[in-house]
Structure 1
Amino acid sequence: RGGDELNHPRPGRNYGWPVISYGEHYSGARIGVGTGAPGYEQPEFYWVPSIAPSGLTVYDGAMFPAWQGDFLAGALKFQLVTRVKRGEDGSIGPEERMFEGAFGRIRDIEVADDGAIWLITDEDPGELIRISR
C-alpha cells in the first residue's frame, strides 16, 4: 500500500525495491528496511497513500501547452487523472489531481494526435472519454 514511484533510471544506480520503499505490505508491515539506506537512490516522486497509478504517459501534444513534458496517469483508487509536473531542470512534482470521481476508475490514458487526452475506464461498461478544449 503506497510507495508507487516515479524515477529517472540511470546506469549503475539502485532504486531500492524491495530493500527500501515508501510502501507497506497489505498487512501494514514495512517493506524492507524503511525509506532509505546507503547506496540506494530516493524516488523522484512517490505516492503515499497509493493512488494505484495506471496508464502513465508523457504529454507531448499542443492542445494543453502548459502540460508539455508532464506525466499524466490514471488513478484507479481515487478515480482521477493525475498530472505530475516536470520542471525545466528535470525535477518532478508537484502533482495536480483532476476529474476526481467524474468518470470512474481510469485504466489507461493516451495523448491523441491533436493533443486531446483519451481516457479508458474499467467500469462496467467501460468508456472511452475524450478530454479537449
Structure 2
Amino acid sequence: MSNEIRIIDQDGVTASVAQLRSKAFVSELTNEDLENVAYTAKALKNPIKNVEDETKKRLINGSQFVHIHLTEANQQLLNGDNDQIKKKFYQKYGLDAFVLKSPTQLKKKFGDVIQEDLDGVVVYEKQSRVKFD
C-alpha cells in the first residue's frame, strides 16, 4: 500500500493526486465525479493556503527546512505615479494604455513597438516565493 494522498468522495470513489495532475484523467471524469472532486478541492484550498502562509512566514523569520526554501523573483510594474509618463502613454497609445496595467498586457496589446517606452518606466519589485524541491 502506498502513502500517496487520495481524494475519496462520498460514494467511495478514489482519485490519487497523480491522477488529478493528469488533464487527460480529469477530462474523462463524469460530471458528477468532477463536481465531487471540485468540491473537495475547494474545501482544501483554505487549509492548504494556511499551511503555505505559515511555511512562508517561518522561512522569512529564518526557519530552515530540508526541501523548502525562499527564492526571489522580479515582478515588472509600471511607475504609475508619474504624470509625464501618463501623458506620454496617453498621447501615443490612447486610453488603452491605462486600462491595461502590466507591461506584459501592454506588449500583447501594442506589440514590440512599446518595449522602448517600457524600458524607461518599468520598475522591479522583489517578491519572496516558496519553492518546493
TM-score, normalized by the shorter chain, greater than 0.5: no
Greater relative contact order (CA < 8 Å, ≥ 6 in sequence): 2
Q: Shorter-normalised TM-score: what interval?
A: under 0.3
Q: Give the greater-gyration-radius structure (CA).
A: 2
